[in-house]
C-alpha cells in the first residue's frame, strides 16, 4: 500500500510545520501506519530556532541538524493533503490539492508548550482520520 503523504507548510518551515511533520511521522511509525509527512516554507529560516530544538528534544525528537527547506511544486505533486499554517504557498504551488488550514495555531515563539499542545492534538486527529479512511478503503476492496 502506498503511503499517504501530508505536506505541512508554514512561512519559515522551521517551527509549526516542523513540529507537525515530526510528530505526525512519529505517531504514524508508532502505529505502523502507511503515512508520512514533510515540512517546508516559502521563506525558510537558515536554521531551526533554539526554542524549537529544545522543546522538541524534551519530547524525544531531535531536530538540531534539520535545515528548513524552500517549498517547491515538485515537493507537493505527490502530496495527498497540504496542511497550511497561515501560509498560501501550498495552494499557489499545487492548486486543486486537498488543503486544510490550521491558521489559528498559537505562535511557537510566544509559548512552545501551548503551540505543541495545539499542533499535536490536531495531528492526532488527522492521523486517526487518515487511518480510518485507509481502513475503509481496504475494507471496500
Asked, for residue 137, whether it belongs to a domain, the answer is no
Residues 79/40, Cβ–Cβ less than 8 Å: no
Asked, for residue 121, whether it belongs to a domain, the answer is yes
Asked, for residue 72, whether it belongs to a domain, the answer is yes
SS3 (DSSP) at 71: coil
Asked, for residue 139, whether it belongs to a domain, the answer is no
Retrieve residue 44's grid coordinates: 525558510
Looking at the structure of the chain, the number of domains it has is 1
Asked, for residue 52, whether it belongs to a domain, the answer is yes
Q: List, in sequence order, every beta strand (DSSP E) within 32-129.
A: 35-40, 81-85, 99-101
Half-sphere exposure of 123 (CA within 13 A, CB side): 26
Residues 68/44, Cβ–Cβ less than 8 Å: yes
Q: Which domain holds residue 67?
A: 4-132
Asked, for residue 29, whether it belongs to a domain, the answer is yes
Whole-angstrom Cα distance, residue 32 to residue 112? Answer: 28
Percent of the chain with pLDDT over 90: 85
Q: What pLDDT, in 10s, does the model give residues 76-115? A: 999 999 999 999 999 999 998 999 999 999 999 999 999 9
Asked, for residue 47, whether it belongs to a domain, the answer is yes
SS3 (DSSP) at 41: strand
CATH number of the domain that 103 lies in? 3.40.50.2300
Residues 10/17, Cβ–Cβ less than 8 Å: yes
Asked, for residue 141, whether it belongs to a domain, the answer is no
- Mean pLDDT for the stretch of residues 121-141: 84
Amino acid at each position: 500500500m502506498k503511503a499517504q503523504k501530508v505536506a505541512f507548510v508554514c512561512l519559515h518551515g522551521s517551527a509549526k510545520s516542523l513540529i507537525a511533520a515530526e510528530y505526525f511521522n512519529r505517531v504514524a511509525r508508532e502505529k505502523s501506519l502507511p503515512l508520512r509527512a514533510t515540512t517546508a516554507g516559502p521563506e525558510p529560516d537558515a536554521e531551526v530556532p533554539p526554542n524549537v530544538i529544545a522543546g522538541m528534544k524534551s519530547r524525544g525528537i531531535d531536530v538540531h541538524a534539520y535545515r528548513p527547506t524552500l517549498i517547491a511544486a515538485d515537493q507537493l505533486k505527490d502530496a495527498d493533503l497540504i496542511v497550511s499554517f497561515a501560509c498560501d504557498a501550498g495552494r499557489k504551488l499545487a492548486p486543486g490539492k486537498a488543503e486544510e488550514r490550521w491558521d489559528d495555531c498559537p505562535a511557537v515563539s510566544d509559548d512552545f508548550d501551548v503551540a505543541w499542545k495545539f499542533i499535536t492534538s490536531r495531528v492526532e486527529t488527522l492521523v486517526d482520520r487518515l487511518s480510518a479512511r485507509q481502513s475503509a478503503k481496504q475494507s471496500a476492496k
